[in-house]
Amino acid sequence: MNKILLKNKKFIPTNAILKKILSGRWIQYQQIIHYLISKNLYIRMYWYGPSSGWSPKFCIDKVTICGIYIAQNPLIGIIGISDKIINHLNNDKNLDPRARLLYKIAVKKGPLKWVETQLVTNNDLEVFLLLVDGKIKALSKEGILPIKSLTILIS
């Protein structure tokens, strides 16, 4: 299996195919998936475009919390953060300073700051997930709460 398949819009990958494509990265991918499902986010495979291909995004209702670019090596975590969420994050005294730095140095494109971070080490993964938790907490203050765990693989 070749990761080029992930960049074919007509080919929607299944978990079995992803396991073959990701190979040595499969265990890390599964750790991320299990963590995000434990937060009651649902998974949806999403076409990010020809350069990024198919990747999972994790949502609450119609709100995307984060995604993982899987055609790249290493895996790359991505989080879009609006000004309203940034205000909540700025006021969150319990937010880990590493997660705060991650969104502060992110580039704003359009209405969102886009945090893109390589998930190479356990520290990278931990900081990414701390920022995910911060975004979920900020959204909960806006009344956007996960209802139940639901996995959807095809959009």
Q: Which two tokens stand for residue 109?
A: 């494109």
Predicted local confidence at residue 5, as pLDDT: 80
Q: What phi and psi, each to the nearest 5 degrees, are found at residue 68? A: -135, 120
Comparing C-alpha atoms, which of 98, 21, 14, 20 is closest to residue 56? 14
CB 59 within 8 A of CB 65: yes
Residue extents of the structural domains in the chain: 3-141
CB 153 within 8 A of CB 15: yes
Rounded-to-integer distance, Cα 88 and Cα 93, Å: 10
Beta bridge mates, 79: 115
Orientation of helix 26-38 relative to helix 15-22, angle to 10°: 130
pTM for the model: 0.89
Low-confidence ranges of the chain (pLDDT < 70): 1-2, 148-155
Q: Which two tokens stand for residue 114?
A: 């886009």
Predicted local confidence at residue 2, as pLDDT: 65
Beta bridge mates, 43: 58, 151
Predicted local confidence at residue 153, as pLDDT: 45
